[in-house]
Structure 1
Amino acid sequence: MLSRGEITTGSDLYEGAFVFQHGETAPDYLLAHVLALDALTKGFVRAKWLSAATLDRYLQLIGQPQVFGTQYPFDPKLPHPITNGGRFSGRTRSPFDDSFLPTYLRSDFCVPDLEQQKKNLQTLNSGSYPRATMTLPGCER
């Protein structure tokens, strides 16, 4: 559909970005990022957080630190218990360059500040998913 030019609206580009963001390769994540950015240029503001998340995911896969802090991958050095929320525990934000972007730029992309991200990490590692605080209030994903 992309190659035929059938994905053109902000909403369609966002949905396409969301699909590729759940791919497995660096080109999947890079394409997801470009699609999310294009959705933003077409006025689809829900793509703000997704454009940040796709960049972070791409950077991590190519061995670079994320810059927004949206990704909480498994940390091989932490336990991953099967019970009590094992699906969420054992997470990290590393590698993460938390000094690369100022808070206002994170905020522009609906990404919580560093303090909230630390709390989100603690919540994940306690076995729960912090859905309400993964983006800023008033931002939709």
Structure 2
Amino acid sequence: MSDATRPSNAEMTAIYDADQAVRMSKTPIDWKLVRPADRARRTRTQELLGTGSLHSADDFYHAAYVYQHGDLPEDYLTAHALAVIAAARGKPAAAWIAAATLDRYLQSIGQPQIYGTQFRRSTGSDWSQEPYRRDLLSDALRRANGVPPIAEQEEKRKGLPTQP
């Protein structure tokens, strides 16, 4: 069945929209409120996955984003698997989230990221992508996944806001 004939799940779309809305707000994120809401969205998404209610590339793409905002390595690995399905079903934008979820998973288990999608900073320090295995993938492979080459990543890192 082509993805064009697979119906998208309206509830999954609404869950994704809520997940993104809180992150796109111009006001600072209140993580004490967002984390429980993120968990509730993941729980409902897992229920939809468990009942076979997700079918389209968009469904799996949306579910990947919900799981990417998880707390555990298993959440990030699940997000990666969902992104791969979305890409396989014809969602080109899923290539980037597949890379980002793999990077997030690797860092969560103490391994270096390989695409360079994750930027972090500790209190009082500059932004960093470390640990980062820059030599494993070529910039061509990064571009194939919608990830900027290393030089552009470095420009982005330098342009991120500094600590007050």
How many residues are treated as equivalent by the alignment?
116
Q: Percent identity?
A: 39
The structure 2 residue matched to 1:27, chosen from 49, 55, 74, is 74
Q: Distance in 1 between matches of 2:162 and 2:103?
A: 23
Give the letter aligned to residue 148 of structure 2. Answer: P
**Structure with more of its chain in helix, by fraction:** 2
Question: Cα–Cα, structure 1 residues 125 and 94, in superposed 2: closer, same or farther, change >3 Å?
Answer: farther
Name the structure, 1 or 2, with higher relative contact order (CA <8 Å, separation 6+): 1
- Tell whether 2:53 aligns with 1:6: yes
Q: Distance in 2 between matches of 1:54 and 1:47?
A: 10
- Tell whether 2:161 aligns with 1:114: no
Poorly superposed stretches of 4+, deviation over 6 Å? none
Q: What is the root-mean-square deviation of aligned Cα atoms in Å?
A: 1.3
The structure 1 residue matched to 2:109, chosen from 49, 55, 62, is 62
> 1:7 is paired with a residue of what secondary structure?
coil
1:38-66, CA deviations, whole angstroms, 9 ceiling, x for partnerless residues?
00000011101100000000000000000
After superposition, where does 1:1-141 map in structure 2 within 5 Å? 1-75=48-122, 78=125, 90-126=126-162
Give the CA deviation at 1:73. 1.4
Q: Distance in 1 between matches of 2:128 and 2:158?
A: 9
1:85-115, CA deviations, whole angstroms, 9 ceiling, x for partnerless residues?
xxxxx31000000001011100100100000
Give the letter aligned to residue 95 of structure 1. Answer: P
Give the letter aligned to residue 119 of structure 2. Answer: Y
- The higher radius of gyration belongs to 2
Q: Distance in 1 between matches of 2:161 and 2:154?
A: 11
Give the CA deviation at 1:75. 3.7
Which segments of 5 or more consecutive residues in structure 2 lack a partner in the other structure? Answer: 1-47
